Structure 1
């Protein structure tokens, strides 16, 4: 928490959302902020 976001952090989130594990996630706003927006 509290660190600057790196491109890898965004890439990991995108990869998860594109995977079968995320098949039940729809219409969400996912903030990848490193804990700055709680």
Structure 2
């Protein structure tokens, strides 16, 4: 979807990622968003 030329597809993908991030934040599952220094 992110490689799509259609604006609607890109907007849907961005919305999905934003909602997923908000859900993870509410669940305190923020380790997915941290950069590993290993």
Q: TM-score range with shorter-chain normalisation?
A: 0.3 to 0.5
- TM-score with structure 1 setting the length: 0.42
Larger Rg: 2
Select the structure with the greater relative contact order (CA < 8 A; seq sep ≥ 6): 1
Structure holding more helix per residue: 2
